[in-house]
Amino acid sequence: MAQSVNISGQIRDTEYNEPLIGANVVEVDKNGRFLRGTITDVNGNYVLSVSSATATIQISMLGYEKQLIEVAQRNRIDVVLKEITTELDAVTVVG
């Protein structure tokens, strides 16, 4: 049986290089199911215990593109998330 491993890191924004508060960091299995997770603190930092050094984590936050990352024997994984930008053709105000 594989031994759990602690990983840590920081999640930042691509455009302003600011830490992202409340980003989701979760371990996912080969079927994409969430196994365990945490969120980033006020400085964008996280610590997560994953099932093995070969685990996969998913980093996500509303308004940003999610990333799947293999732990690959690393203990520190810093990630920069890119904002999802969409333009609206029109805005309708009702009321």
pLDDT single digits (tens) 39-71? 999 999 999 999 999 999 999 999 999 999 999
Q: Name the average pLDDT for the chain.
A: 93
DSSP three-state, residue 89:
coil
| 3-state helix, strand and coil shares in percent for the chain, rounded to the nearest 5 | 0, 45, 55
List, for residues 70-85, the tens digit of each pLDDT value: 999 999 999 999 999 8
The pLDDT of residue 42 is 98
pTM attached to this predicted model? 0.86
The band of 88, judged by pLDDT with boundaries at 50, 70 and 90, is low
Tell me, what amino acid is at 78?
Answer: D
In order of 74, 77, 82, the CA distances from 71 in angstroms are: 6, 8, 20
